[in-house]
Amino acid sequence: MEIKVPEVGESIYEAQVSTWHKKDGERVEKGDLLCELETDKISLELNADASGTLQIAVGEGETVKVGAVIGTIADEEEGEGEDEKGAAPAKDEKEAAQKEDKNAAAEEAEEKGSAQQKKKAAKNKEKPESESAGKAVPAAESPSKEPEKKERVPEKKQKESAEDQEKKPAPRGSAEQDGRVTRTPMSPIRKRIAERLLAARQQTAMLTTFNEADMSRVMALRKKHQESFQQRHGVKLGLMSFFVKACVEALKSFPEVNASIDGDDILTYHDYHIGIAIGAEKGLVVPVLRSADEMHFAEIEQAIADFAEKVENNKITLADLEGGTFTITNGGVYGSVLSTPIINPPQSAVLGMHAIQDRPVVRDGEIVIRPIMNLALSYDHRLIDGRQAVSFLKRIKDLVEEPEEMLLEL
């Protein structure tokens, strides 16, 4: 049975064999995890469709086209048939051995004859050399002095060459050769991320506007209702569901932010598919909450938890990543206080959340300490004006600071 790279999606044409979980020649059972493949969008696992012996044709790190054979699984019957077919009868083995002995004897006789001929030729050569031994050889024809002259020049040049080599700088690859630098090829996912981020910077007029939100009310709500929320819905009430709800309401008020540019046209979306950036070991992925406007808080939290589990176990699918109209990324989980997130093309805006810090702020003429989060909205200035971007982010701030305006199901 052939092991082929499966078709994952229309836009995926090749995959890299990242890891083999079984060894070449190892016995595998149906359903066993064979290897992991990595495309420019997702990672996927291949399991054995049959039991047998694994034969690996493509090693780790190699990139192949979709549909290519990367290995085979031979069942026991096939293996036995090959052994029977390949085994030579005892009679044939005996004849082959005899033939080999004859060939060896012929080669030995030929070597002896050749040795005798060489000995005879050596004797004939000694005779004229002995006759000319007593004759004088002119100085100009003497071979003893010329080699001395020729030997001195290379020695001098060799010395000069060695000195020059010491003066020359070390080659650029020397750091790699002595182990100070390690070179590894980029994975397909990392290549794709690099291409998209570079395209976002080069093909959009990207700007970022900032604001800050007082998280006191949200944190108080979470603390007060966390236990009952979790008992009823089986999932914790996090911060992300508040921001998803706030973004949906803001997008309804500013539809140009929920749009993209297609040539000379503007595509305004009437669905609210919110991408949630999730960091993984192999790179950032952005699964999409489809029709987030129709989702309740518990549904949002459960969907995000499911996405995170899929990403961790390399189970995320291409369908999970497609169709987003707006993206939220939370650098605060890594400790980021302020950043400028990059747009996820063809979308026109992305919201960046950051770490919550206690800061002194003025409330009713008094300085008080409040948990503050910096917010950042990066947007494509070709489509969204500064006034709209600032107003959009201000709307999110207001909704988060007064979350009772949003429907919270407990």
What positions carry a catalytic annotation? 381, 385
Residue 113: Cβ-neighbour burial (10 angstroms; 0-12, 13-18, 19+): exposed
Q: How far is CA 165 from the centre of its chain?
A: 40
Orientation angle between helical segments 386-401 and 216-233, nearest 10 degrees: 60
How many CB atoms lie under 10 A from the CB of residue 16? 23
List C-alpha distances in Å: 134 to 84, 146, 157, 232, 374.
75, 22, 39, 119, 105
Check if the beta carbon of residue 250 is closer than 8 Å to that of residue 396. yes
Check if the beta carbon of residue 336 is closer than 8 Å to that of residue 301. no
- Distance from C-alpha of 357 to C-alpha of 369, rounded to nearest angstrom: 10
* Cα atoms in the Cβ-side hemisphere of radius 13 Å centred on 72: 7
